[in-house]
Amino acid sequence: MTQTLTITRPDDWHLHLRDGAMLEGILPETTRDFGRAIVMPNLVPPVVTAKDAEAYRARIMAAIPEGADFTPLMTLYLTETTDADDVAAAYASGLISAVKLYPAGATTNSDSGVTNFDNVQGVLERMSEIDLPLCVHSEVTDPSVDIFDREAVFIDRVLDPVRRRVPELRVVMEHITTADGVAYVMSQDERLGATITTHHLIINRNDLLVGGIKPHYYCLPIAKREEHRLALVEAATSGDARFFLGTDSAPHSDPNKESACGCAGVFSATNTMSCLAHVFERAGALDKLEGFASLHGPAFYGLAPNVGKTTLTKQAKAVTFPDKIHTGAGDVTVFNPGFPLNWTTS
């Protein structure tokens, strides 16, 4: 018997769309299932000013497939020289929806990020005044901190002190990967939200490393122990409105992934909704999927849910998704959840 579930059209609250031929090649993978996406600004060079965001937005709009129902929600990349007036004007005009904080060196194209948080205090205070959310890549970059501990250490060393200094600022702890992240969010007020990726709900560090290294599972923050994955599934399926979907779908061409020094990023735009339906069904929480993928994110950002609907259908026979998306910037491997997928969207 086929099973169906109709939900409000989902959004993706953390997405990498890149630029040029890569953007053109991968954008249809997102516009198929998502009404909106918070678009990450870590291009080379990064999207720092309102002018940069306006130009990038125009390039994205030009690449949206004919007839697709999709709105990109732009972000600015916070640097130590970011101009608070430029940020405020960009928000007031409706151009941007958030500002992204990358600790310098934390991940792909984060060299222009923040080293000394005192230097961004003025911008954070201004953002708090105008109620513009800050999205945070929550990992320390201190080389002496083990890569598996970088999120937990960031909470104590950076995130909590920043929140104490600017308590009214709305903050999204991006792509949380640990039980520590879940516990921290739950200990705070509703001004702190968290996104959770598709892949961190499905893979742990054994999937990445046991039986040979799997470059397509390498991402940042890196996948953690199974107990942390279970904490993420519990948070995502709990119905708690502070947790919402941000796929962090991050395309890199296969040669850049399958390399002696491979890039971080999992590309999951193509099959995310199918993967999520599987995860939520397995957790006995299909009724919580709409909140996680379609309602909690807009509520946090102060937006209405999408008007459109998406129907998920479970079929007995496994669904096939393409293994790779062919783009003008090379092939991009689609996330392999490691189990058959039976849910499709329409």
Residues with catalytic function:
248
Q: How far is the CB of 318 from ligand DOR (least distance, A)?
A: 27
- The DSSP code for 334 is P
Query: In this structure, which long-range contacts are made by residues 334-339, counting pairs with CB atoms below 8 Å and at least 24 apart in sequence?
Result: 334/267, 334/268, 334/270, 334/271, 335/198, 335/199, 335/216, 335/249, 335/266, 335/267, 335/268, 335/270, 335/271, 335/272, 335/275, 336/216, 337/202, 337/271, 337/275, 337/278, 338/202, 338/203, 338/207, 339/278
Q: Give which of 9, 17, 65, 66 is closest to 41, Cα–Cα.
A: 17
- 50 vs 266, beta carbon nearer Zn ion: 266
Out of ligand DOR, Zn ion, none, what residue 183 binds, judged by CB under 5 to 8 A for its kind, is none
Out of ligand DOR, Zn ion, none, what residue 199 binds, judged by CB under 5 to 8 A for its kind, is none
- 184 vs 267, beta carbon nearer ligand DOR: 267
- 52 vs 248, beta carbon nearer Zn ion: 248
Whole-angstrom Cα distance, residue 268 to residue 240? 23
Q: How far is the CB of 265 from Zn ion (least distance, A)?
A: 8
Q: How far is the CB of 150 from Zn ion (least distance, A)?
A: 15
Pairing of strands 36-39, 71-77: parallel
- 174 vs 290, beta carbon nearer Zn ion: 174
- 15 vs 179, beta carbon nearer ligand DOR: 15
Q: How far is the CB of 252 from ligand DOR (least distance, A)?
A: 6
Q: From residue 213 to residue 252, what is the string marking binding to Zn ion with x (rule CB under 5 A)? A: -----------------------------------x----
229 close to 207: Cβ distance less than 8 angstroms: no
308 close to 276: Cβ distance less than 8 angstroms: no
Whole-angstrom Cα distance, residue 272 to residue 264? 18
Q: How far is the CB of 5 from ligand DOR (least distance, A)?
A: 29
Bridge partners (DSSP) of residue 330 are 327
Out of ligand DOR, Zn ion, none, what residue 64 binds, judged by CB under 5 to 8 A for its kind, is none
Task: Enumerate residues 6+ apart whose C-beta is below 8 A from 49.
Answer: 76, 83, 86
Q: Binding residues for Zn ion, how many (CB under 5 A)?
A: 1
b (16+ CB within 10 A) / e for 135-157: bbbbbbbeeebeebebbbbbbee
Q: How far is the CB of 14 from Zn ion (least distance, A)?
A: 6
Out of ligand DOR, Zn ion, none, what residue 265 binds, judged by CB under 5 to 8 A for its kind, is ligand DOR
CA atoms within 13 A on the CB side of 26: 27
> Which residues contact ligand DOR by CB under 6 A?
16, 42, 107-108, 137, 219-220, 248, 250, 264-265
Out of ligand DOR, Zn ion, none, what residue 325 binds, judged by CB under 5 to 8 A for its kind, is none
- State which residue has the least CB distance to Zn ion: 248
- 9 vs 14, beta carbon nearer ligand DOR: 14
First-to-last C-alpha distance (Å) of the chain:
18
Out of ligand DOR, Zn ion, none, what residue 42 binds, judged by CB under 5 to 8 A for its kind, is ligand DOR
Residue ranges that bind Zn ion, judged by CB under 5 A = 248
